[in-house]
A = this chain, B = another copy of it.
Amino acid sequence: MPFSTMERWSFHPEDGRLAHDSGRFFSIEGLHVRTNFGWRRDWIQPIIVQPEIGFLGLIVREFDGVLHALVQAKAEPGNINAVQLSPTLQATRSNYTRVHNGAHVPFIEYFNGTRPHRPLVDVLQSEQGSWFLRKRNRNMVVEVFEDPPEHPNCRWLTLAQLRAMLRYDNVVNMDLRSVLACIPTRVEPDAVGRVLDGLSEGSFETRLLRSFVGAGTPVHNMNTLLSWISDVRTTREFVQRTRPLADIDRSGWIRRDDGIEHEDKKYFSIFGVSVTTGHREVRSWMQPLLSPANHGMLALLVKEIDGTLHALVHLRTEAGGHDVAELAATVHCQPDNYTDVPEEHRPTYLDYVLDVPRTRIRYDAWHSEEGGRFYRNENRYMLVEVPEDFDDGGAPDHRWMTFGQITDLLAHSHYVNIQLRSLVACASAVYNRATA
């Protein structure tokens, strides 16, 4: 629907940002980025500004010695399949902190200290830096020791069942993938022990699980990896400055009442939608959604090095990132954005992945991003095993890390971006075939 007919949303008289009249939720603003590297070094783009930190909470409990997660079936306006599996609780800070003033948020008492719980994971993690300015969500997993109340949209699944769901397209939503990735594999010592004792050392699943639990020797120790990250963050020039929305015109963006899009039909567009649902406190509302112009390719190359499986991670800078660079998939791009880009600026390994033989593919599924902000944004997530003699010279911004090292960094904020977190969850779906 046209912006001019969106109830309660309007363009701010001072800087032109598209915002809700309450000042809450989020706004669409201009962002000027200046860098000293890459193909484009100076541009202005529209971006979603949402300073409030949201809350993604998963309740887990042991039944008969097996860890189960309480998963919610949740609808979002931009979802593919309408309903996807999500964490037990997705809440804004307003829901979380002012529970006594508003409607009851189911299960909130297991996260705010009212009911007994043990925190397994509690960390702020960034979301899509190309589309959000410094957006973070709190990823939290709590173990409870009593039965929470039943809820019609929630079911208990074992972690193995939940991981098995990741083998299907568009079933597990982005928020749940992110939370799953943050759970250290070592929290399930029994299952891990069974696998490592009982199965052939040589299967991909077993080698992957060994990499997750820190068996074997990484090619780089953690001090060296942290030093590499600090070096890249220091030497890359990266200046972000919010701008009046009208300034995006200078970089080829077209603003019309029915939407904002780029003149090359690349990147993404933004438009208004009207939403009606029977399942929320508010049953209908209007909001802008961001719709990427084409699908993304998120591929992680993995390789056995001296008997330990490693993943090739990329230190990637994104326009709205909270820090200069975060660890990302080996290949992370919307391939169609690069059709007219000079050969030397095509993403490293993109052409390799596009043509990779099927026998090297260890995981391949389509998942969609947060349906509350993005309209049907579907991306291809792949794990590709390359041979030990694979040539990885000449890629200075990539490093081999074990899955255990990536998981260790997930205890802290802003090391691992949202798409790589999804791939870590997908990888757990692969080793899961061995443990389940």
Contact = CB atoms under 8 A, between A and B. Distances in A.
Interface of A: 51-53, 55, 93, 96-97, 119-120, 122-124, 138, 140, 223-224, 226-227, 230-231, 233-235, 237-239, 241-242, 323-324, 411-414
B122 A231 contact: yes
Given A53-B234, A138-B234, A413-B323, A226 B93 contact: no
Nearest to A142: B227
Contacts of A52: 237
Copies of this subunit: 2
Given A234-B93, A323-B413, A239 B123 contact: no
The 9 closest A-B pairs by CB, nearest first: A122-B227, A119-B227, A122-B230, A138-B234, A53-B234, A51-B239, A412-B412, A97-B235, A138-B230
Could you say which of A51, A230, A235, A242 has the most chain B C-beta atoms within 10 Å of its C-beta? A230
Contact of A235 (B51, B96, B414): B96
Nearest to A36: B97
A19 to B, nearest CB: 12
A226 B53 contact: no
Contacts of A241: 242
A370 to B, nearest CB: 18
Contacts of A93: 234-235, 237
A234 B136 CA distance: 9
A359 to B, nearest CB: 38
B230 A123 contact: yes
Given A226-B411, A242-B241, A413-B323, A234 B124 contact: yes
Contact of A223 (B51, B96, B120): B120
B51 A226 contact: no
Given A140-B230, A242-B242, 12 more contacts: A51-B238, A52-B237, A53-B233, A53-B324, A55-B234, A93-B234, A97-B235, A119-B223, A122-B231, A123-B226, A140-B227, A226-B412
Contacts of A324: 53
Contacts of A122: 223, 226-227, 230-231
